[in-house]
Amino acid sequence: MDLVDRQKSLKLRRSILLLLFLVTIALIGCKQDSKEKFKDPVEVESEKAVADYTFLKSVIPAKTYAGLNLTLPYQGDMYFSFSNPSSSDSTIIYKFENHFRPHVAAQFDGSDFRLDFVYLTNESDTINLDLMENGNLGIKDDSLQLQINNLINRYMSVFWASKKSEYDKATIKAEITAVREKNKNERLSYHNDLLFYTYLEKVDPRNTESDFFFKQLKPNSLIINTLFGSLPENHLNSRIRSYNFNDYQSIENDYCLKLYKESMFRILSFEDNIGDHELDEAIAWFKSTKEFQRDSVALKSKIEPLDAITFKEKIQRLKFNGEQTFENIMKANPNEFYLIDFWATWCAPCIEGVKLIKGMKLPYNIEVISVSLDKDKDFKKWQDLT
């Protein structure tokens, strides 16, 4: 290998390692500040009434494995396991701060890419989920939810067809307009319009029709997350680099402003947007909100790149089982670069990643450090998978 090839290879390896390190930033940063207020949803044994909390509950039959993908404000997309490996029925409960209460869950149903959605919009402190015939979690006997899901998948059929056949803008607009006209129903009028304008904003950014519809949203209106985005996210994403953020202060619709803040964080936390100076004004505005100030340490770590020196110091101090540190591990295994792989037995993509890394022929100057986030009770399962 000549000098030029070696330099290219080294630059590529450094880029890969930098990306891998940035993935761990939230895991590291949240452990260091005792004043941190950002609380993840947790599994609990009972649903004792607690102010400012919501419970997500389901009774899972013996030897049954289920799960739910939830989109949480200021936390993003997370997967929650409702699996019961025991020989008897088990009640599984998760506790959420109301500040991060999930609005909607999405699940794939079969191999045809049909999406089933669960709308978690009721006002009660406990949301009870049922195990459906297809193995997904949902709410039985909810005819409106079934109708909404069917409507979503009619729009999704256009989405998949456009990907397969590379439709142009005019064709997509004609297709979704046809779906909207064919599904005029008084009970689904709002949902039909919402899906139409969500897709329209995606293919025709900054159009006046979807802008007007969004700013007229009523408090607690259902917002649907789809593979072609959500209306607040699409609406903001097409304007975020050119918008005068002083205008946000004049928005009279509080619910609209709430959705803007949630979408702002989601967009700013996208990997490709971190470090983009065109978004500096957007970041400055978001930092002025009470939502950011409430959880500034956690939220800042997700929207701004971490200083390399600070990252190195934090990762060297990170402890395992209360005693082992990365610094000691690195001293025991000296090398030029380290690939740190965080994984867990409950994370299927992580396990695939472990297998992928094992099959890779890495350069001699890279040492792989694999870190499991499992609890002690899962040691046997951890051994079997590694």
Last residue of a domain, one of 141, 157, 186: 141
Q: How much is the pLDDT for 8? A: 39
Same domain, 108 and 177: no
Using an 8 Å Cβ cutoff, are 172 and 129 in contact?
Answer: no
Same domain, 74 and 154: no
Q: How much is the pLDDT for 21? A: 39
Tell me how many domains the chain contains. 3
Asked whether residue 79 is assigned to any structural domain, the reply reads: yes
Helix H or strand E encompassing 23: helix 3-23
Q: Count the residues in the chain.
A: 386
Using an 8 Å Cβ cutoff, are 92 and 84 in contact?
Answer: yes
Using an 8 Å Cβ cutoff, are 80 and 72 in contact?
Answer: no
Using an 8 Å Cβ cutoff, are 57 and 82 in contact?
Answer: no
Give 81-119 pLDDT, tens digit per residue: 888 999 999 999 988 877 666 655 555 544 444 455 665
Last residue of a domain, one of 141, 175, 210: 141
DSSP 94: E
CATH of the domain at 80: 2.60.40
Asked whether residue 178 is assigned to any structural domain, the reply reads: yes
Same domain, 270 and 313: no
Same domain, 31 and 77: no
Asked whether residue 92 is assigned to any structural domain, the reply reads: yes
Q: Which domain holds residue 92?
A: 42-141
Residue type, 287: K
% of the chain surpassing 70 pLDDT: 78
Helix H or strand E encompassing 348: helix 348-359
Asked whether residue 225 is assigned to any structural domain, the reply reads: yes
C-alpha atoms less than 13 angstroms from C-alpha of 185 in its C-beta half-sphere = 12
Last residue of a domain, one of 80, 115, 141: 141
Same domain, 265 and 346: no
DSSP 202: H
Q: Which stretches of the chain are assigned E, i.e. beta strand?
A: 42-44, 53-60, 67-72, 76-81, 90-97, 104-109, 114-119, 126-131, 137-138, 319-320, 324-325, 337-343, 366-372
Using an 8 Å Cβ cutoff, are 372 and 345 in contact?
Answer: yes
Token readout for 270 is 């996208």
Asked whether residue 217 is assigned to any structural domain, the reply reads: yes
Asked whether residue 267 is assigned to any structural domain, the reply reads: yes
Residue-level pLDDT, tens digit, the chain, 386 residues: 443 344 434 344 444 343 343 333 333 333 333 333 445 667 777 766 666 787 888 899 999 988 877 777 887 777 788 889 999 999 999 888 776 666 555 555 444 444 556 656 555 678 788 887 777 777 776 677 778 888 888 998 998 888 888 889 999 999 999 999 999 887 889 889 999 999 999 999 989 999 889 888 887 677 777 778 888 889 889 888 887 776 666 566 788 888 888 889 989 998 889 989 999 999 999 999 888 988 888 888 889 887 777 777 877 777 776 677 888 888 888 888 888 888 888 777 787 888 888 888 888 888 888 888 777 777 777 777 66
Using an 8 Å Cβ cutoff, are 355 and 2 in contact?
Answer: no
Asked whether residue 230 is assigned to any structural domain, the reply reads: yes
Same domain, 131 and 200: no
Token readout for 105 is 């869950």
Same domain, 19 and 119: no
Chain position carrying tokens 């992580």:
350
Enter the pTM of the model: 0.64
Token readout for 244 is 């005068």
Same domain, 183 and 264: yes
Same domain, 237 and 321: no
Give 178-189 pLDDT, tens digit per residue: 999 999 887 889
Give 267-282 pLDDT, tens digit per residue: 999 888 998 999 999 9
257-260 LR contacts (CB < 8 Å, sep 24+): 259/217, 259/223, 259/232, 260/232, 260/236
CA distance 79 to 71: 9
CA distance 94 to 54: 8
Same domain, 162 and 238: yes
CA distances from 123 to 78, 98, 187, 220 (A): 22, 11, 21, 10
Q: For the chain, what percentages of helix, strand and coil (3-state, to nearest 5) are there? A: 45, 20, 35
Same domain, 163 and 208: yes
Q: How much is the pLDDT for 125? A: 77
Q: How much is the pLDDT for 30? A: 33
Number of Cβ within 10 Å of residue 68's Cβ equals: 22
Give 9-50 pLDDT, tens digit per residue: 434 444 434 334 333 333 333 333 333 344 566 777 776 666
DSSP 382: H
Asked whether residue 298 is assigned to any structural domain, the reply reads: no
CA neighbor of 263 nearest in space, from 235, 289, 291, 244? 235
* Residue 235, phi then psi, degrees to nearest 5: -60, -45
Same domain, 156 and 268: yes
